[in-house]
Amino acid sequence: MDIIKEILEDLKNVTLEELLDDPHLDVMKKQKSIKYYVTMTDKFMSGWGMAKNKINKLVIECETYKEAEIVERNALNRSDMKNVNVRSTRPYYNQNHYFVSWHDKNDYQNFFKPGAF
């Protein structure tokens, strides 16, 4: 509790300009803009059609970690999806071995609804 009082006391002497120039603010802005990716293997679509002789990977881009958790849970509830993962870096797959389709909440809305699958 004493540390909170000290911080509040220090903030009384800080101007808005000084707060906005704080390098920690840049870090917080960058962290807020991090996207999350839920990756999965589509067992049903792998090996034929556009993914002939390849593994079909589905990547769903999420704006927040909470969205990614919902998408992950829905994917895990589908029997046609395996190797479901959440990551904060954009995945790369060798196109000689993988057919990758990229999606987000605009075209895969049901994945973003809790308990949809």
Number of residues written out for the chain = 117
Return the number of other C-beta atoms located less than 10 Å from residue 38's C-beta: 28
Are residues 90 and 51 part of one domain?
Answer: yes
Confidence of residue 71 (pLDDT cuts 50, 70, 90): very high
> With 70 as the cut, is the pLDDT of residue 1 above it?
no
Domain with 74 in it: 35-112
Q: What CA–CA distance (Å, rounded) separates 82 from 109?
A: 20
Q: Between 47 and 86, name the one with better pLDDT.
A: 86
pLDDT digits (tens, 9 = 90+) for 92-106: 999 999 999 999 999
Are residues 46 and 11 part of one domain?
Answer: no
Are residues 67 and 21 part of one domain?
Answer: no
Are residues 65 and 105 part of one domain?
Answer: yes
> With 70 as the cut, is the pLDDT of residue 35 above it?
yes
> With 90 as the cut, is the pLDDT of residue 67 above it?
yes
Are residues 9 and 53 part of one domain?
Answer: no
Question: What's the mean pLDDT in 1-19?
Answer: 67
List Cβ neighbours of 67 (8 Å cut-off, separation of 6 or more).
Answer: 36, 105, 112
Q: What b/e string do you get for 18-32 counting C-beta neighbours within 10 Å, with b at 16 or more?
A: eeeeeeeeeeeeeee
Q: Cα–Cα distances in Å, from 82 out to 6, 66, 71, 100?
A: 50, 20, 13, 14
How many domains is the chain partitioned into structurally?
A: 2
What is the chain's mean pLDDT, rounded?
Answer: 87
Q: What CA–CA distance (Å, rounded) separates 11 from 6?
A: 9
